[in-house]
Structures are given as C-alpha cells and as structure tokens.
Chains A and B, each alone.
Chain A
Amino acid sequence: MTNCLLCQSSLRNTTSFDEIMSLAPTQARQLCEECAAKFFRLDSVATCDQCGRRLKAEMSNPCYDCERWQQQISFDFQNRALYEYNSAMKDYMKRYKFLGDYQLRFIFAKEVKKAVTRQKRLLVPIPVNAGTMATRGFNQVTGLLKGCSLVEALKTSQTVKDKRQSEKDRADRLRLIQPFELVEPQIERISGKNVTIIDDVYTTGTTIRHAASLLYQAGAASVIGITLAR
C-alpha cells in the first residue's frame, strides 16, 4: 500500500476505473487526485515562447519581460516550463527544497525526464553552491533528473556577489554578477553542441540566462532552458 507523497492519504482507493483507462499523468501514482489537481500543467494552454509563462488574455507573445530581455542580451534563449508556479508548486518547493524532503523528487522526476530527453541534446543542470550542498545534501535540480545522463559543466562561482545591484541596469548586472563558472574538463564537451539547461523554477530568468551566456561562450551551438515551474 502506498500513500500520497504530499498528504499521506492512502492511494489504495483512489485508482478509479477512469484513471486506469485514461492516459493518467505519471504523477498519479505518487499523489492522490486531490493533491495532483492543485498543480497546473502548462502544456495545454498558450504560453510565452521565450519564457514559458502562461499567457493571459491581455498579454502579448513574447511577454513584456521577454521583450526587455531581447533588447538586453545578444544571444538566443528560450525557456519552456512544465507547470505554473502557483501556490501548490510554491508549497511543493518549500517542502522539497527548503525542508529538504528529497523523496518528493519522485513526484515530478518521470515527467521531467520525459520532457528533457524528447530531443537529443546535452543536458546541463543548474548547480547549487557548496554551502547548500553541505546542509541540504542534494541538488534539487539533479534530483529531478534521475536516469538522465548529465554534463555538469557549471559550478557556482567563488567570487563575491556584487554589492550594488540596483544601480546597474539589467544587462550590466547580467555581465557583472555571473554566479557560475565553467567546469574546466567539461568545456570541450559543450563546443558545437545543442544544450538544454535545466532548473527547478524560472523566476526572473536572470539565473538561467547567466548559465546560457557561459555555455555560448564555451561554444554551444544553441542553448534552451527547461524548468519544472514558471
């Protein structure tokens, strides 16, 4: 007998006939119907081509934020997200990442794997810093990538964070406070390749674009992003 990973209710009674007959999402086996219904999948709604957010009626495509990005960066970058960052996802992240409930990776791992392996691309996860690794004991991104072959080409930079972020415009910031470094021996594997960066949440898009710019520097032919949530 298994229990819902989020609310512990028994999953024994929840496998309805409909569920068996339909193409139930992979998470159905980890979550009860009630918990599963609280997450919002982005694959069946209109989304921004550039960042993957759900487009509301009054929004253009690409969205306003992405238009600004296009003016500020000189490389191509598109992100796709599997789920909306709603309150259920926020709560999930709190438990998975901040409380550190590593088993909650199982809820989305299969879906993430399916999404990132659909095309033959090099998979580069966003790294966590050494301090986080020492207390949390895992990287929440690689946790979602069970069974995928990864190129860990990025590490967090040792250099101190820039103090006066607010005084710089976004392009400056992007250049100045690069939080990542390339991992030397991996650089040559990037050159000429199509790369997918994977992160847990796309918030402002700054982090993942920092990563993308480094990978272009290393000679990547194209770089896209896939995040669990946007």
Chain B
Amino acid sequence: MINHISDLYGRQISSAELPAAILELPEVKRRPAIQLKPSLMCSRCGSRLKRSQANLPNGQYYCYVCIQMKRMDTLHDLAFIDEPNQFNKVSNALSWEGQLTPLQAECAEQVVRIFKKRQHHLLWAVTGAGKTEMLFKGIEWAVRYGKRICIASPRVDVCIELFPRIQAAFAKTSIVLLHGKSDQPYKYSQITICTTHQLLRFYHAFDVLIIDEVDVFPFSGNPMLHFGVNNAIKTAGAMLYLTATPDKHLLTQVRKGHLSISYLPIRYHGHLLPEPTVIKIKGLSQGIDNNRLDKRILKMIRQLMSQQQRFLLFVPHIKDLATVATAIKDAGIIAKYDTVFAADPERLEKVGAMRHHELDFIITTTILERGVTFPGIDVLVLKADDDIFSAAALIQIAGRVGRSSDRPTGRVLFYAETRAANIRSCQRQIRKMNRKAAEI
C-alpha cells in the first residue's frame, strides 16, 4: 500500500493500491491502465492483449502479462505524479577513495560526458574491468545537479551485490534497493537500484538510467521490459547500457546509430582474461545421468580441496545438480558444498554462504554466470557443450576467474564431449579481447 505522496513521485501505481486520501490530491494524475483503442494494450508493459484471455466479467479487461507486479485493469486507473527531483544538490557526494587506472579514468570521464549530453550509450567492458567504479564520477555529477538516478539489472544477484558498493561510495545520498524478494519498503530516493522488472512501476522518473548486464535473460528479447525502460526514463534522459557480451539486438542498435559505443578490453588490474582449457570426456553426459563423474573430474575436485582452492561448479540443468552432488558424495569427497538454481527458495542464503566462505564450492546452473564475484575462485563447467551454455554464458563464466589483483589468474576448465560451436566461439572471443588488450 502507498502511504505517502512522495511514494508516487515518478511512479505509476494502480489506483487499487492507493488510499483515497492520496488519490484525491491535486498533484495526482491519472491515465487508463488498459488502452482499449486502437487495440487492447496495457499502458504499463505495452503488451498487446488478446480479448479472449484479457476479459473479465461485465466488459472489463486486465493485463495477464505483467500481472506479477499487481494487476492492471479497466476497473482502475494508473496514478502518477510528475517527478519533482526533490533532492538537495550536493557537491562532493562521492565518498569513495579508491584509485582508477588511467584507462578506467578515461572511461569514467566519458560516462560523465554521456550523462551531460543525455546520450544513449553502450559501454562494452570485459568481465572484471571494474565497471562499477567507472560509474562513480558520472553518478557524482548527477547527484550534484539533483538528478534522479537508477541502476537496473535483469539479475537480482547483481542488484544485491551492487547495493552495498553504491551505498559505501555515496554514503550521504538516499539509496533504495528494489526487487521481488526484498522486504525493504519503497522510499523516494535519489538513487534507485532495482531489477528491470521493477522499472515497470516508474514513469518518466530517471534523468540517468544505467542498465547493467543488459544482454541477459529476462531482459534480452523481452519487449515488456524494454517498454518498461522507455517509460521509466525521462523523455530526455541519459541511458547507459553495460555488458561484457552484447547481444545482436544491442549491436544492431549501434549500427543503426541509436546507440553510441565504447570499448574497454582490459581488466582493471591489467592482466589478460584467463583462457578456458577444454577437457574432452567420452560419455560425460550419460555418466552424470547415472550419478557418476569421470575420475579426471573427481581428481581435479580432490586437488582443489587439498589446495583449499574454492570454486564454482557449473552444470547445464537443474536435474544435474542432484546427480553431480550425489556423485561427489559417493566418491567420498569431504567438503562443504551446496547446490543452487534460479527458483531455489534459499538462493540468496546459499550465495551468501559462499560469499562468507562457509562453503568450499557451490554447484550451480547458469544463474551464477555473472554479476556475482567470489574473489580468487576457479570455475569448472560440466557439459560445456550443452546448448544451455551460449558462447556469452561461457565468456561470463570464465570471467568469474582472476578478478582480484592478488590472484589475477586461475583455472577455467570446460568438461565436454566435443569442442562444440559455443565453446569455439567463446575461446575465439576471449582470445580476440586479449589481443585487443595487448595492443594497449
């Protein structure tokens, strides 16, 4: 329930969620939640609706597409208040005292220019380039001029990891973290960190909108979330997309001139990306289905354990989690480990346990392929030739390794039956980036 008028600044909320006292205020504007003409369309998510699916009794309609975010229907209006930018203009808001490398500093200046000129821009930076730190100067500029800022990502883990870092860097600025699993209540804040789904509840709010890991599910190829982005940003707002693996859609936007682009091919510590080693194993898939792991894999796990080397063990499917865990247990390997997948109810706790060194390793689906950083880890990918692992996913997985300057290298091991196209493409792209980095 919305309780304070500021909860509506730059937002769009169904009148069903608003108490009468707020709805009656003169600042509150309304528009239909569902447009009937020219065709049935949801105002919040932009979905074209089928009448046979969207109909309610008595000639009413609702949107069945974005209903997870509370229902849009013809029984209620979408209420909003124009964004007033009620923020104190603070100079020197940045409390971060770290150092940028010369290349990062150059990128950071560019980000400031992009925000000032309200450009739409793609920053293509390799995994471990230090993207977040490169945003700080731009955010500081925006805070100084009382702008409203949002950093959104399709992945909730990315948001959760980002929040404390932004909070530490902008200690005096109001910041709110929003995602579906959060119990933190909404509060009008200068900086919003949220999942791309949450953007559906904003309307012409942000002067600066940054989208991290833009190429990933569920954002990539989801017209509803793209519509949400365009609604959430102010008409003349600045947009910055960040990724290490841009998809076709983004590159098309660049080619058409809708997006400017810049490239950062080197990691902040100056070391190259670790290249994956492919280990071919016959019958790998069948073995896993029968709770068995090849002895080379078990030997590697034992070796890692004896070296106290923590790692992530990637598998393509949820069903592989249990079989691989069983195989490790049956092999008599004694270790603290757990399994995790996207819809795992304990997902956040398990990732937290890994982060706090309470686990030696975690067996995971692609959900941990990006955004989360466990310093100094290695990665093993089982069935790397499975279709589930796109080349981009494999690049992101390899990008988990060697991120700290204490240990800028590490193992990236792909176990597969064949060197499939996705693996070859991943290897090609990593080598290409490393060549570019070497030229600098």
Contact = CB atoms under 8 A, between A and B. Distances in A.
Interface size class of B (residues with CB under 8 A): 10 to 19
B67 A137 contact: no
A137 B73 contact: yes
Contacts of A64: none
Interface in A88-104: 95, 99-103
Interface stretch (B57-65, B92-100, B190-198): B57-65
B60 A137 contact: yes
A119 B57 CA distance: 27
Given A134-B75, A137-B62, A102 B56 contact: yes
Given A103-B53, A103-B64, A137 B75 contact: yes
Interface residues of A, number: 11
Contacts of A135: 16, 75-76
A138 interface: yes
Contact of B73 (A95, A100, A103, A139): A100
A137 B56 CA distance: 7
Q: Is the interface of A mostly helix, strand, loop or mixed?
A: loop
Given A137-B56, A137-B58, A138-B56, A101 B64 contact: yes
Contacts of B62: 100, 102, 137
A103 B55 CA distance: 8
A50 B105 CA distance: 75
A137 B59 CA distance: 10
Contacts, number: 33
B224 to A, nearest CB: 12
Contacts of B55: 102
B71 A100 contact: yes
Interface string A131-145: 000110111000000
Interface string B227-259: 000000000000000000000000000000000
A100 B58 contact: no
B65 to A, nearest CB: 10
Interface string B45-83: 000000001111110101010011011010110000000
B67 A100 contact: yes
Interface in B352-401: none
Residue with the greatest number of chain B CB neighbours at <10 A, chosen from A100, A134, A138:
A100
A99 B56 CA distance: 13
Q: Is the interface of B mostly helix, strand, loop or mixed?
A: mixed
Contacts of A103: 53-54, 64
A103 B56 CA distance: 9
Nearest to B55: A102
Nearest to A7: B343
A99 B75 contact: no
Nearest to B53: A103
Residue with the greatest number of chain B CB neighbours at <10 A, chosen from A95, A99, A137, A138:
A137
Given A134-B75, A135-B16, A137-B62, A99 B57 contact: no
Contacts of A138: 56-57
A135 B70 CA distance: 12
A100 B66 CA distance: 12
Contact of A99 (B60, B68, B76): B68
A137 B60 CA distance: 8
Interface string A199-210: 000000000000
A99 B70 contact: yes
Residue with the greatest number of chain B CB neighbours at <10 A, chosen from A99, A100, A101, A102:
A102
Nearest to B52: A103
A4 to B, nearest CB: 13
A24 to B, nearest CB: 22
Nearest to B63: A101
A135 B14 CA distance: 11
Contacts of A139: 57
B409 to A, nearest CB: 40
Contacts of B53: 103
Contacts of B54: 103
A147 to B, nearest CB: 14
B187 to A, nearest CB: 24
Nearest to B71: A100
A197 to B, nearest CB: 20
A207 B291 CA distance: 51
Interface string A174-193: 00000000000000000000
B421 to A, nearest CB: 23
B439 to A, nearest CB: 45
A208 to B, nearest CB: 23
Residue with the greatest number of chain A CB neighbours at <10 A, chosen from B55, B60, B62, B68:
B62
A102 B49 CA distance: 14
A1 to B, nearest CB: 13
Contacts of A99: 67-68, 70-71
Contacts of A101: 64, 67, 71
15 contacts: A99-B68, A99-B71, A101-B64, A101-B67, A102-B55, A102-B56, A102-B64, A103-B54, A103-B64, A135-B16, A135-B76, A137-B56, A137-B60, A137-B75, A138-B57
Top-8 shortest CB links A-B: A137-B56, A100-B71, A103-B53, A137-B75, A137-B60, A138-B57, A101-B67, A103-B64
Given A95-B67, A139-B57, 15 more contacts: A99-B71, A100-B62, A100-B71, A100-B73, A101-B64, A101-B71, A102-B55, A102-B56, A135-B16, A135-B76, A137-B56, A137-B57, A137-B75, A138-B56, A138-B57
